[in-house]
Amino acid sequence: MRSSLAHRRTLAGVAFLLAGTTTIQWSAALVMPVFLRIGPSASSAWRFLFGAAALLVVSRPRVRTWSKHQWVGAAALGASTAFMGFCFYQSIARIPLGTAVAIEYLGPFLVAALSKRSFRHYVFVALAGAGVVALARPGGGVTLIGVLFALGSGAGWAGYAFASHRVGGSIEGFGGLAVAMSIAALVTVPFAVTSAHELVARPWLAGRMALVGVAAIGLGFGMEMQALRRIKPSVVSVLIALDPAIAFLMGWLFIGQGVSVTDLVGLACVVGAGVGVTYDVTRGVVPVAQ
């Protein structure tokens, strides 16, 4: 009975995670045309502002009863998410969406892969590294700055995963996420101020950013938090092995970014390494109810 319950929790967590990552990557494809008007920094800031506003209206967090532990968790989640979002948007403004996500994935992948220091995992790390080299294609138009921002986003993702697990386990509902995203909005609001006139003059621009904010922050991060309530952060870190593939698909479908044979080879290496580590890390793991 307990094993069956754990199995259902794991399946639900996987479903939430895949739905969340798909929504986030779709929103990234949706926001890229906005970069031409207000730039990636302001776009990231407006995403947090609209997303946090939607979460606050829906969740109405009761912060008066919060402990210091809960506030620290929300602050850590907000800061790490703000850093991750800023770096990610800077990256996809310079390199293809799928490539950026594949490089970003190295952060959580390495956390999981090196948790078991075995020869097999070192092989997986080497395979993932070869895949990223293929995706970066030296001389193929991928800029060093774009790659560095993607790596920074990966570092932020690792912090986001652990902070999100902490907030999700200590605060019921979406109140913790709402406060955390509000903190992220406050951190990034200076970037939004300089572009406010653009959104006032062009209502379609404000509408698109509102849609991006609700999709990425409200729905995407919300579903990922639901996943983190059901499965451990180390397992989630490798279950997102399909994230780069989803990003390539969104880039191809919605913004016409091409996918070369080299991209497919690199993607197969990254996803294959992630799946291999997933099997090793999750083998024998029983999720613990929060």
Residue (of 181, 144, 177) closest to 52 by Cα position: 181
Rounded-to-integer distance, Cα 80 and Cα 164, Å: 10
Residue 18 has pLDDT above 90, yes or no: no
pLDDT digits (tens, 9 = 90+) for 142-195: 788 998 999 999 888 877 777 776 665 566 667 888 999 999 999 999 999 999
pLDDT digits (tens, 9 = 90+) for 73-129: 889 889 999 999 999 999 999 998 988 988 888 777 776 666 666 777 778 878 887
| CB atoms near residue 142 (< 10 Å) | 18
CA distances from 272 to 125, 175, 213, 259 (A): 11, 36, 31, 18
Residue 290 has pLDDT above 60, yes or no: no
Percent of the chain whose predicted confidence (pLDDT) is above 70: 82
- Predicted confidence at residue 138, as pLDDT, reads 58
Q: Kindly list the domain boundaries of the chain, sorted by start residue.
A: 2-282
Burial 158-176 (b: 16+ CB within 10 A, else e): bbbbbbbbbbbbbbeebbb
**Considering the entire predicted model, what is its pTM?**
0.83
